[in-house]
Structure 1
Amino acid sequence: MLTWFRSVLFNIAFFGTTAAVAILSTPVLLAPAHWTMPPIRFWAWLVVQELRWICGIKLEVIGREHLPQSGPALIAAKHQSALDTVVWLLLVPNCAYVLKQELLRIPFYGFLVAKVGMISVDRSGGAAAMRHLLKAGRAAAAAGRQLVIFPEGTRVAPGERVPYQPGIAALAAATGLPVVPVATNSGVLWGRRAFLKRPGTIVISVLPPLPAGLPRPVLLARLESLIEAESDRLMAGQPVDNTVDDLAPRAAP
């Protein structure tokens, strides 16, 4: 009963916070694009605090030394929960998500996402969508941003497997960047399309980068093997380093 009550309160807080920040931030749409990131990062910080104080969900980050302090990066992150689309705004200084085009249709929020330069992709767009992804990815990397892509292409429930999409390998080839694999157990506590948010610790495990220039089949196979093995370890509750991070936002350069 307590978990249900906490989940109700969190949903009220989450949607209320999202609506309030989106509406109050609309004036920055008239300002330069870099003015848009601070309110979005503030929103992400609020969501993390709401999870902690309302739902009893803490976050732990291990391997953060593998993330860049500045400059371009290509991050391939396991996607089990909506939280995965929030937390990278706090973990790297200038995040550029690769996200589905439908998110741009959300009133106010979609305007901010477009303004800040997130990379939207039409998942049914075929070759044209891939060309757009590569062009936008190269531009983001040239601007020194950290690209975050979910190689499965969608949220996947804990314990389930789907093939990794070729977009991550194409983006690695187009940008010439090493790929940083990231595992998580986020879906155990905040499930895919789940109402209940269960108390506990969500762990984000950043693994050493895979070198640039790997052939596409090799990159995809190694990426999937590393991420899935580490995610399975986290979901099994095996011990991790006690490097608890407060996820204070990193300033963009």
Structure 2
Amino acid sequence: MTYAIQWVRSLLFLVAMYGGMALVGILYAPWAIVSRRGALAACRHWCKLVCWLAGWMVGLKTEIRGTPPTDEVMVASKHQSFLDIIMIFAHVPAGRFIMKRELLWMPVLGQYAVRIGCVPVNRGKRGAAIQKMLSDVESGKSFPGQLIIYPQGTRVAPHVKVPYKVGAALLYRELGQPCVPAATNVGLFWPRKGIYRKPGRAIVEFLPRIEAGLPRDQFLPQLEAVVEEASDRLMAEAGSPKPAE
């Protein structure tokens, strides 16, 4: 019975979440059309709304640790569900994402993603996709702020091992900016698929930055080590320790 009640609460939360997306998108549209600041404000306010709704509707509290960056950096984060996207964007002043191209066709979300300067990537053509991503990032340098990338390239369930892709290292070199790693445990509460949301405390932790200029063969292993270690620590804190290998 408890599971059924939580499932219904989760369904109502999702209805409120996406209904809120439509409402915020419409209300902010005039400002967003004329100014990127309007689009950023709309997205950030919706993300904060979702975190608030999750807390009282399904008992899922959100917590940010570390210091969210406010300067021009690359943020390289563990990606477990839509919630880590929401939490990161809610706490950086001018975020934009490397995102899969299919999301551009989603109502409201796709239009705002374009307006804030997100970089769409066709993941089906790996070599061409990397070159297109680098080209689009170069042409989008007029969008100052925090470029957010998920170096594993997709959502990864807790404790599942997926290698970090070379695109993150190439982007780090192309930007010539520091990288702020970010770890999370959100997948324990908000899964990649399905309706059910589990009560608990979802955490995103911004880690000490990796300064610009490291060679690729140093940057990528360092990034993977710090993000995976911190994510394992956060999941263990939430009661899900890393399985023995």
TM-score, normalized by length of structure 1?
0.86
Indicate the residue corresponding to 2:93 in structure 1.
93
Indicate the residue corresponding to 1:43 in structure 2.
46
Work out the CA distance in 2 between the residues paired with 1:97 and 1:152: 14
Q: CA deviation at 1:140?
A: 4.6
Higher relative contact order (CA 8 A, sep 6+): 1
Q: CA deviation at 1:189?
A: 0.7
CA 1:145/1:193 → structure 2, altered by over 3 Å: closer, same or farther?
A: same
2:234 matches 1:234: yes
Find the residue that maps to 1:84 and give its secondary structure: helix
1:16-65 Cα shifts (integer Å, max 9, x gaps):
1122223444444542333222112111111111111111111122211x
Work out the CA distance in 1 between the residues paired with 2:97 and 2:81: 15
User: Aligned runs of 1:149-164 on 2, under 5 Å?
Assistant: 149-164=149-164
Percent identity (aligned): 37
Indicate the residue corresponding to 1:56 in structure 2.
59
Indicate the residue corresponding to 1:122 in structure 2.
122
Indicate the residue corresponding to 1:9 in structure 2.
12
CA 1:238/1:86 → structure 2, altered by over 3 Å: closer, same or farther?
A: closer
Work out the CA distance in 2 between the residues paired with 1:36 and 1:61: 23
- Structure 1's consecutive aligned runs of 4 or more residues displaced over 2 angstroms after TM superposition are 19-30, 32-35, 125-129, 135-144
Indicate the residue corresponding to 1:34 in structure 2.
37
One-letter code aligned to 2:44: R
Work out the CA distance in 1 between the residues paired with 2:112 and 2:142: 22
Q: CA deviation at 1:222?
A: 1.2
The answer to whether the 8 A contact 1:73-1:141 is kept is: no
Indicate the residue corresponding to 1:137 in structure 2.
137
Work out the CA distance in 2 between the residues paired with 1:34 and 1:101: 23
Indicate the residue corresponding to 1:215 in structure 2.
215
Find the residue that maps to 1:202 and give its secondary structure: strand
Work out the CA distance in 1 between the residues paired with 2:33 and 2:122: 26
Find the residue that maps to 1:182 and give its secondary structure: strand
Q: Which runs of 5+ in 1 are unaligned?
A: 240-253
Find the residue that maps to 1:92 and give its secondary structure: coil
TM-score, normalized by length of structure 2?
0.89
Q: Which runs of 5+ in 2 are unaligned?
A: 240-245
One-letter code aligned to 2:69: P
Number of equivalenced pairs = 236
The answer to whether the 8 A contact 1:98-1:148 is kept is: yes
Find the residue that maps to 2:157 and give its secondary structure: coil
Q: CA deviation at 1:176?
A: 0.8
Work out the CA distance in 1 between the residues paired with 2:235 and 2:32: 40
The answer to whether the 8 A contact 1:59-1:201 is kept is: yes
CA 1:166/1:179 → structure 2, altered by over 3 Å: closer, same or farther?
A: same
Q: How large is the Cα RMSD of the aligned pairs?
A: 1.9
1:55-84 Cα shifts (integer Å, max 9, x gaps):
1111122211xx333x31111000011111
Q: CA deviation at 1:191?
A: 1.1
